[in-house]
Amino acid sequence: EAGVAQSPRYKIIEKRQSVAFWCNPISGHATLYWYQQILGQGPKLLIQFQNNGVVDDSQLPKDRFSAERLKGVDSTLKIQPAKLEDSAVYLCASSSGVRGKVGHEQFFGPGTRLTVL
Amino acid sequence: SQQGEEDPQALSIQEGENATMNCSYKTSINNLQWYRQNSGRGLVHLILIRSNEREKHSGRLRVTLDTSKKSSSLLITASRAADTASYFCATGRGNAGNMLTFGGGTRLMVKP
């Protein structure tokens, strides 16, 4: 079974530039997540999709971050304009979301390491 | 803000010893999960325990959950050098318990 795919793996940009990350979840997984992991910290949930609808985006800085999940499969996360403090690893995860079951294992992609100069 | 807090922040042991990591959290949860992260394999799910469960086992892993104390522990028995990694607890909330809040992690080093 193919895992969660993310691209690019690394990105270096200057502050105020824009950047986009792409994620392809495990086939058949209805739920997709984007996390931000700053060096030395645990991942922080930015946004959760169920199919192509947003379940929670309460921690997404909406003035500069946006995300979409077209057709309930692939997803993109965009930052515009980037700030120095956005330097982090951006992780995408997916889970199967079986009905009636509380709590599901999340499968993580390798992440995109973003450096903002 | 991160709900879970792991203790200790760093742990160094010899191969063959047991490693115990603790996690405390603040608000009610419906499940708690442990993940491992190393440079080779990224972030990997280890075990999930639901709020109505008290203990779960998976291979050399044993997880306990005490909802009255809002705490959990992860025990790795007979540790191996390959267990060297950061270990995170993540508390689940929301209707399906899928909105995870991760702690800051315990960095475990197992010396051969």
The CATH architecture assigned to A5-116 reads Sandwich (2.60)
Cβ–Cβ < 8 Å for B25, B104: no
Residue reference for tokens 């700053």: A38
**pLDDT digit string, tens, across residues B49-62:** 999 999 999 999 99
Q: For chain B, which domains are there? A: 5-111 (2.60.40.10)
Cβ–Cβ < 8 Å for A35, A47: no
C-beta atoms of B97 and A41 within 8 A: no
Task: Please list every residue in chain A whose beta carbon sits closer than 8 Å to the beta carbon of residue B88.
Answer: 42-43
**pLDDT digit string, tens, across residues A17-73:** 999 999 999 999 999 999 999 999 999 999 999 988 999 999 999 999 999 998 889
Residue B94 backbone class (left: φ over 0; alpha: ψ -120 to 50; beta: rest): left
Query: A13 CA to chain B: closest CA distance, Å?
Result: 23
| Percent residues over pLDDT 90 in chain A | 82
- Nearest Cα to Cα of residue B89 among B110, B111, B68, B65: B65
Is the torsion defined by CA of A29, B27, A42, B58 positive or negative?
Answer: negative
Query: A44 CA to chain B: closest CA distance, Å?
Result: 7
Task: Please list every residue in chain B whose beta carbon sits closer than 8 Å to the beta carbon of residue A93.
Answer: 43
Residue reference for tokens 């992609």: A109
Query: B36 CA to chain A: closest CA distance, Å?
Result: 11
Tell me which residue in B4, B30, B88 faces A102 most closely, judged by beta carbons: B30
Distances in Å between the alpha carbon of B12 and those of A40, A46, B17, B51, B112? Answer: 17, 32, 10, 30, 11
Per domain, the residue ranges of chain A are 5-116
C-beta atoms of A102 and B50 within 8 A: yes
**pLDDT digit string, tens, across residues A24-40:** 999 999 999 999 999 99
